[in-house]
Structure 1
Amino acid sequence: MAKLSGIGCSSKTPDYFLGPSHGFNTVHGRMPSVLTGANLANRTLIYLGVSGDGDSASIGLGQFAHVMRRGVDMTYIVENNGVYGLTKGQFSATADPGSVSKKGVTNTDSPLDMVGMALMLGASFVARGFSGDKRQLVPLIKAAIAHKGAAFIDVISPCVAFNNHAGSTKSYEYVREHNEAVNRLDIMPARTEITIDYADGDTVEVEQHDGSVLRLHKLHADYDAHDRVGAMNYLQAHQAKGEVVTGLLYVDPQARDLHAHLETVDAPFNTLGERELCPGAAVLEKINAGLR
C-alpha cells in the first residue's frame, strides 16, 4: 500500500497506521498529482489518499477535480470539519451558511459540497460517512479500497478544538441529529462463504472487479446507488432540509480506471528497462507516422 496526504490536521492521519508501508506528505493541495504519478509508475500498489476540506476544497480543488474525472484507481478520503483547524478555526470552503464559529462569527458564504462535486466529476464510488459512526464508516472504507477506479469518501469529522460547539453544523451533536443514512454496508471479500440470509427486498448485492461483494442494506426502498443523477437529486433535496446524507451514495462496479483509459501495459512502468522505454528512433518515427 502507498498512503499519501497533503497538509493539515487530516494529513497527519497516515502517520498512525501501516508504518512499514510507502508514505508521502505532499505539498499543500497537491496529493492527487503525486498519487497519480505514483499510480502510473506502479499499478500494483493499493493507493490511499487522505486529505481535508482545506487541502482539497480550497488550494487543492483543481487537483481534486482532475483526479476524480480521470478515474485514478485510489481511495480518496476527505476529513471534513468545516474549519481550518491549524490556523485557529476560520471557516473553510465546506462550511454551511448560518453555521456559527467558536468566536461567534456566522458564516455567510455558500459551501462547496465535495460529494456533489465527486458525483458530477465522474467518480465511480461516492460515499459520505461520519467519524462518530464507526459501524457505518469502516465498511465504506473497505469497499472503497476494493473498488477499481476513483473512490471518494467525505467523512464528516468534527474538530473538537474549534467546531464542536452549539451552532456548528459540523459538530457531533448536529450530525447525529440530522444524519440521513441511505444504507448500511457489509463487504465480503472474494471466495469468502456467505452464511447470512436476508429477506427479499432488504438488500442489494454489487460485485466488485476483484470479486468481492458489496451488500447494501437499504434503509430507503426508493434509493438506487447505481443512479448517478438520482444520487445528486437526493443529495440536494435532503440538504435543503438541513439533513446530512450518509452511506454509499453511488457505485459503478463496471468502471474503468486511468490505466484502462490510457491502455497502458500490464507491467508496472517502474519495472520496464531502457529498451522498452527508449526503443529507438525507428519506433518513434512509426508512432509519429501513425498520428499524422
Structure 2
Amino acid sequence: MSFLKSKFRHPKLPRNDLGLTQQAYEGPLSTLCAGCGHDAIGASIIQACHELSIPPHRIAKLSGIGCSSKAPTYFLDKAHGFNSVHGRMPSIVTGANMANRDLVYIGMSGDGDTSAIGMGQFAHVVRRRLNMLYLVANNGVYGLTKGQTSATADEGSLSKQGQANPLEGIDLVTMAIQLGATFVARSFSGDKRELLPLIKAGLSHNGFAFIDIVSPCVTFNNHAGSTKSYDYVRDHVTTGAVTDFVPVEEEIIVSSSDSEAQDICLHDGSILRLQKTGNEYDPQDRQQALAAIEQSRQQDRILTGLLYVDPAAQDLHEVLGTTDKPLNSLGERALCPGSDVLEVINDSFR
C-alpha cells in the first residue's frame, strides 16, 4: 500500500512576494512516527521560508544521520539537498558555503548527530561562524537504534526501560555561545508561536545561527521520568528574549505568557516545565545569557527564546576576505591566474 500527499490546495491560498503559495515549500508525506515533533519543526521551516519569500531553489538543506536528519526529506523538496555521513554535515555545508555563498543554508541535525559523533565538527563550524542556520531536533535519545540515552539527556533522566542516566547532559546552547555563535536560541517543537519567528530570524541572521529545539520522541522518550518528554518540557520552560508532541489522539499546543513558567501535562502524565525569557532580558549580553541558562537549569527549568545575538557579527567570508562572487561561478583565469600572481602572493607572506 502506498500513501501519497494530496496535491489539491485551495485556489485562493496566500501568495508571497514571489507569487508562490506555501505548497511550493512543502515535501512528500512524512514517514516519521505519528506525532513526532520533528514534523512540527519542518512545518515551521516551510512557513518561515514562504513568509520570507526565499526562492526554494536558492536554499540548500543538509543533514547527517538520525530521525532528525531524515526530516529534511519532508520539507523544501525543490531545494538542494544533501544527506551526509553521521556527524559530518558541518564539513559538507562548509564546503558548499565556501563554493557558493549566495545560497541560504539550513543544517538539520539531532542530539546524537551533533553532540556525540559530530561534536568536533559542530565545535568548528560554530567557531568559524559559517553563514547558516543550524537546527538541532533534541529528544535525548537515539530513536533509530531503539532509544538509547543520548549525550544531551539530563542526569537522572529515565529511559523507557526505567534506567536512570548517570551522566551529566551536554547543553548545546551554552556550548554554542561559548564557541562564538552569533545567534543562539532554544525552543520547543510544540510552541509554533515562539519557534516560527526564531527560525525566520535565524534565516535572516548574517553569521552562524543556532537553534536547539526540544522535540520529544513519541516512541522512546515521552514517558514519565524523561526530561525530554512533552510534559516535562512544558512544565520546565522559561523564556529568554521574546521574539510537539502531537499525539495521535490530540494535538498539544502551547500558548504561555511571557516570562512565566508553565507546567505542561503530557498524555502519559509526565510534566514539562518551560519558561520564556522576559522583557528585561538582554539577548546581546553574552554573560547574562550564560548566567540565565545556568540559573534556569538549577531550577529544573528549560529557558527558551532568543538567548544571545550579535547584530554586528561577521560571517566566515567576511573574516577570510573571500571574493564577493561565488567560487563556483569564477572562470579558469580567476581561479588559476598563473605563476607570477602566485609568486606575489607567496612574497606577501615572507
TM range (shorter): 0.7 to 0.9
- Find the counterpart in structure 2 of residue 31 from structure 1: 89
**CA displacement 1:176-215 (0-9 Å, x = unmatched):** 1111012331xxxxxxxxxxxxxxxxxxxxxxxxxxxxxx
* Mapped pair 1:256 → 2:314: yes
Q: Structure 2 CA distance, aligned partners of 1:104 and 1:140? A: 35
Match for 1:54 among 92, 112, 127? Answer: 112
Pairing 1:102-251 to 2, within 5 Å after superposition: 102-185=160-243, 220-251=278-309
Structure 1 unaligned spans of 5+: 186-217
Alignment correspondent of 1:80:
138
- Rounded to whole Å, the distance in 2 between the matches of 1:270 and 1:51 is 26
Distance in 1, Cα, partners of 2:327 & 2:142 = 38
Work out the CA distance in 2 between the residues paired with 1:219 and 1:98.
26
SS in 1 for 2:206: coil
Whole-Å Cα distance in 2 between the matches of residues 286 and 273 of structure 1?
A: 20
Contact 2:241-2:282 at 8 Å conserved across structures: no
> Aligned equivalents of 1:113 and 1:241: distance in 2?
15
2:331 maps to which of 270, 273, 276: 273
Runs of 4+ in 1 over 2 A off after TM superposition: 218-222
What is the TM-score normalised by the length of structure 1?
A: 0.88
CA distance in 1, matches of 2:169, 2:216: 16
Q: Distance in 1 between matches of 2:179 and 2:233?
A: 26
Distance in 1 of aligned mates of 2:240 and 2:288: 12
The residue number in structure 2 matching 1:91 is 149
Give the match for residue 341 of structure 2.
283
Q: 2-side partners of 1:73 and 1:65: how far apart?
A: 15
Q: What SS does the aligned partner of 1:40 have?
A: helix
Task: Compute the displacement of 1:221 (Å).
Answer: 4.0
Aligned mates of 1:221, 1:256 — CA distance in 2? 27
Helix, strand or coil at the partner of 1:183: coil
* 1:16 equivalent in structure 2: 74
Instruction: Give the structure-2-normalised TM-score.
Output: 0.73
Q: Distance in 1 between matches of 2:168 and 2:156?
A: 10
Amino acid at match of 1:81: N
Looking at structure 1, the residues matched to 286 and 160 of structure 2 have their Cα atoms a distance apart, in angstroms, of: 36
Identity of aligned residues (%): 62
Give me the whole-angstrom Cα distance separating, in 1, the residues matched to 2:203 and 2:277: 23
Hey, what's the Cα distance between the residues in 2 that align with 1:136 and 1:221?
14
Cα distance between partner residues in 1 of 2:221 and 2:108:
20
Name the aligned partner's letter for residue 144 of structure 1: G
For 1:62 and 1:219, how far apart are their aligned partners in 2? Answer: 30
Cα distance between partner residues in 1 of 2:326 and 2:279 = 43
1:115-169 C-alpha deviation (Å, 9 max, x unpaired): 0000000000000010111111111111100000000000000000000000000
Could you tell me which runs of 5 or more consecutive residues in structure 2 were left unpaired when the two chains were aligned: 1-58, 244-275
In structure 2, C-alpha distance between the alignment counterparts of 1:150 and 1:23, rounded to whole Å: 19
SS of structure 2 residue aligned to 1:102: coil
3-state DSSP class of the match of 1:94?
A: coil
Which letter maps to 2:62?
L
Local SS of the residue matching 2:125: helix
8 Å contact 2:93–2:107 — kept in the other structure?
Answer: yes
* Distance of aligned partners of 1:70 and 1:172 in 2 relative to their CA distance in 1, 3 Å threshold: same
Equivalent residue pairs, number = 260
How far residue 220 of structure 1 moved from its aligned partner, in angstroms, is 2.2
